[in-house]
Amino acid sequence: MPTPPDSASIAYQLMNVSGLWTVAPEPFNKCPDKTGPNGSDWIEVWVLLHRVINLQRHNNTYTFTVEPAGRGFQSVFIRRLNPVVVLRFLTPDGKELEKWDESAPPNRVKNEVPPGTRIIGPNGEIIRK
């Protein structure tokens, strides 16, 4: 769902349903000037537990350089310049953390844990897959 950056009510709603409402918000109760484009012209990215230190666009690819923040999140709005985009998230030394390609079919994203991954349960127990 496209989100116009000039709508405080939509950003407030998304923050609440995401569970991020526990974070002390910046003023979400004040709407900015209504001079921006409609929502389909924007991409909204929520960066969790990291801080964006650089953002570059090359053709249809937006590359975010991020560093760990330990806590918190950033909500970043980017002007959409292509109908389909790729979002890449890199560490300052160039390691790719995540990639989102809008042209990928929906079944490409899977919620799977690779074999050999250690999982720590709620009581501190180690669960191995």
- In a structure prediction context, what are the per-residue pLDDT tens digits for the chain, which is 129 residues long? 444 555 555 566 666 666 665 555 555 444 444 444 444 588 889 898 899 999 999 999 999 999 998 888 888 888 888 888 999 999 999 999 999 888 876 665 566 777 777 777 777 777 764
In angstroms, the Cα distances linking 39 to 26, 72, 87, 117 are 21, 25, 18, 39
Q: Do 36 and 80 contact (CB within 8 A), yes or no?
A: no
Tell me, what's the pLDDT at 29?
44
- Beta-bridge partners for 58: 61
Domain that holds residue 73: 8-106
Tell me, what's the pLDDT at 61?
95
Claim: this prediction has a pTM higher than 0.85: no
Q: Do 65 and 55 contact (CB within 8 A), yes or no?
A: yes
Q: Does 54 map to a domain?
A: yes
Q: Does 44 map to a domain?
A: yes
Q: Does 2 map to a domain?
A: no
The count of domains in the chain is 1
